[in-house]
Structure 1
């Protein structure tokens, strides 16, 4: 990375510089534990076997309706936290560009 670019200020980023953005890390949770991966080393294969961080729960009177949707495009259940997310999942699973495994 060019020295001038690395020191350029980026609003809203902890550390405030472009270099700080590239030091960011992602935590990926799986049944075997948590793996911390630098952003620049992220690959799609790293997410195989990953699980959601939060559990979805529901209770009487809550303003949103979380749940689980069987998506044929990924041949698995997909967790959603709101009806809006469910609508987006339904639209994505009907897309002609998406195919099953």
Structure 2
């Protein structure tokens, strides 16, 4: 399938537009209007507040579950546990 990209783009530009494309904006705006009329969509802030509160509780709970702090790693030390020299030496 090694076709020329320019030729493919020229064919796409010459192709007629899809007939439903002209009515797309009307359909999208009608869908937005119908969603706004639904009572459960009238207050989307409630869903966001519940999601934020749940994320906060999960974050605090996850931080509380840590038994001991993770060891601090320095990028340029010889004792880095993931240094290639230590990984290769442990395989022998």
TM-score interval (norm. to shorter): under 0.3
Larger Rg: 2
Compare the two structures and name the one with the higher strand fraction. Answer: 1
TM-score normalised by L of structure 1: 0.21
Query: RCO greater where, 1 or 2, for CA within 8 Å and sep 6 or more?
Result: 1
Q: Which structure dedicates a bigger proportion of its chain to helix?
A: 2
